[in-house]
Amino acid sequence: MQDKRVLVTGGAGFIGSNLANTLATDNDVVVVDDEYLGTPENVDESVEYHDVSVLADDLPTDVDVVFHLAALSSYAMHEDDPQRGARVNVEGFVNVVEQARQDGCDTVVYASTSSIYGSRTEPSPEDMPIEANTGYEASKLARERYAEYFSNHYDLTCAGMRFFSVYQGYGGAEEHKGEYANVIAQFAADIAEGTPPKLYGDGEQTRDFTHVDDIVRALETAADHELDGIYNVGTGEPYSFNRVVELLNAELGTDVDPEYVENPIPEDVYVHDTCADASKLQAETDWEPQVDFEDGIAQVCEPYK
């Protein structure tokens, strides 16, 4: 993407700042963030920054493309305050897209979630049956339905990207998320300090860990191709938490055993396994994951060496 005016909501957060900073090389980038999960320290000086909520009036939506990443992005955040979760994740999405539409923008790329597939060891295609077991999942499904409305009623192109377990490590913009960061970042920090990482249950749960660089390329690709609909973004190669700990120990030259603890998340809502079928995105664009998992682990560990 080049020579566009672009809005990134949640642009001071983990994924948002990586996207905003990448796009800022060749585009005029505007960031909106209320700093709940983000910090302006993540954002390059060349980016136009607004400390404001996606629920606000008069947002800077006079842009060519909207990347809507702002969200309360975990099960726990929604259970703490379901009403706030719905306002931010659903009303905030509608507010941003409607203001952008009125300003003449017709291309929207937004974050959804792979959590709605539930627990699966087989690759999950976009057209499989889905359901909402948590407030977080319900809010992302509502977002997808509103995107369908904007597409059908106003002819906007709205690409919903179902991310699979995005990671970067505390050496990047993920550090600000703290306890909400991906488990890879948390495990790496613990092991580097000689602290046993805490794994829920027996540690054999799996995730389709996807490096943030691949996520950023997928988001940009979706806008470039003016995609409309729902797309998975993942590698199709899941790893267990136990395997992650093994790889981190090997990369750091340590020998820190994990501590196995009881899962605080109810079993009926905890997603034990995820695996992406990203063939739709790959078939319609030139995107495919490029960061090998062991290379990604090495990048996560680099700041500790």
Per-residue pLDDT tens listing for the chain (305 residues): 899 999 999 999 999 999 999 999 999 999 999 999 899 999 999 999 999 999 999 999 999 999 999 998 877 888 888 999 999 999 999 999 999 999 999 999 999 999 999 999 999 999 999 999 999 999 999 999 999 999 999 999 999 999 999 999 998 888 888 888 899 999 999 999 999 999 999 999 999 999 999 999 999 999 999 999 999 999 999 999 999 999 999 999 999 999 999 998 888 888 999 999 999 999 999 899 999 999 999 999 999 99
Q: What is the pLDDT of residue 144?
A: 98
Q: Which two tokens stand for residue 72?
A: 């309360």
Would you state the structure tokens that stand for residue 298, as one six-digit string?
């090495």
Topology given in CATH for the domain delimited by 169-206+238-275+292-304: UDP-galactose 4-epimerase; domain 1 (3.90.25)
Is 5-166+210-236+276-284 CATH 3.40.50.720? yes
Tokens of 196: 């046993």
Choose, from 136, 146, 170, 239, the residue flagged as catalytic. 136
**Residue type present at position 236:** G
- Return d(Cα 253, Cα 251) in angstroms, integer: 6
With H, G, I as helix, E, B as strand and everything else as coil, classify residue 124.
strand
Determine the pLDDT at residue 251: 98
How far apart are the C-alpha atoms of 218 and 122, rounded to whole Å?
22
User: Which has the closest alpha carbon to 162: 185, 135, 133, 128?
Assistant: 128
Active site residue 136: yes
273: DSSP letter: B
